Amino acid sequence: MEWGRHCLELGRRTCIMGIVNVTPDSFSDGGRFLDSRDAVAQGLRLAAEGADIIDIGGESTRPFSESVSADEEIRRVVPVVAELAEKIRIPISIDTSKAVVARRALEAGAAMINDIAALRSDAGLAELAAEFGVPVILMHMRGEPRSMQVAPRYDDLVGEIYSFLQQAADAAEGQGIARERLIVDPGIGFGKTAEHNLRLIRRLAEFAGLGLPLLVGSSRKSFIRRLVKPAGDPDIPPDLPVVETGTQATVAASIFNGAHIVRVHDVANTVATVKVADAILNS
């Protein structure tokens, strides 16, 4: 995937997207990088550790979270994007569903749009992506963050998500975004139960029929924590080493089942997982 001065080789090597949440309430690292200096330092660290993309978000999309204003989102992310764009050569992705936020971030140096709403939330976002000619990540989500985990149900889990992503990609292309600029994400943890998430990872290969690069973001999510926590504990902190070990298991499984990009908090550990998993696949 080539655009502007950027190129992502999607195939023999799995690409790594490093997460920087400039928020007070993200489920894994809320508040740690709310100060722009801390967020920039984290972005630089993830890039140095081997990230291929840095994903900057200014609004938490954890289950039951509330939205923030565009002005607040801009205040959080644009200074971070601007400074990182001057210091790193890898593409910066802006994680937003708001066209006005995306525009300011793209003008500041961002080079991708990561939209959990798959261009459904803001009609101006597709037009903006087409104008700038940047890649767009289209994610599946059932409902919205504040309600998505209230009894999610599917009659045909993979079939329904496949159909949604196919329609989202066709709609994006119809709005002027080149198909070679599209990436799809089945939305692990977004309107899915733990069983749904596990089944999606096991059946990722079925999304190959879309003919589009596949991104998977399973890092530290609640279904992993539930699997690795001691019996009887209601939950455990997302940044515990055992949760990271569980995350890396999902990363490896995702790669073996067709993921082209993995979105993670811990890039250093993921680099090792990717090297081994890719070597096995390419042997």
Among 115, 87, 89, 86, CA closest to 101: 115
Q: Is 263 a catalytic residue?
A: yes
Contact 33, 42 (CB under 8 A): yes
| SS3 letters across 174-221 | HCCCCHHHEEEECCCCCCCCHHHHHHHHHCHHHHHHHCCCEEECCCCC
Which member of 76, 221, 225, 229 is catalytic? 221
Which residues neighbour 37 within 8 Å (Cβ) at sequence distance 6 or greater?
none
Which member of 98, 103, 225, 263 is catalytic? 263
Whole-number Å distance between alpha carbons of 160 and 6: 33
Q: Is 87 a catalytic residue?
A: no
Contact 92, 54 (CB under 8 A): yes
Among 266, 250, 137, CA closest to 189: 250
Among 75, 87, 78, CA closest to 41: 87
Residues known to be catalytic: 221, 263
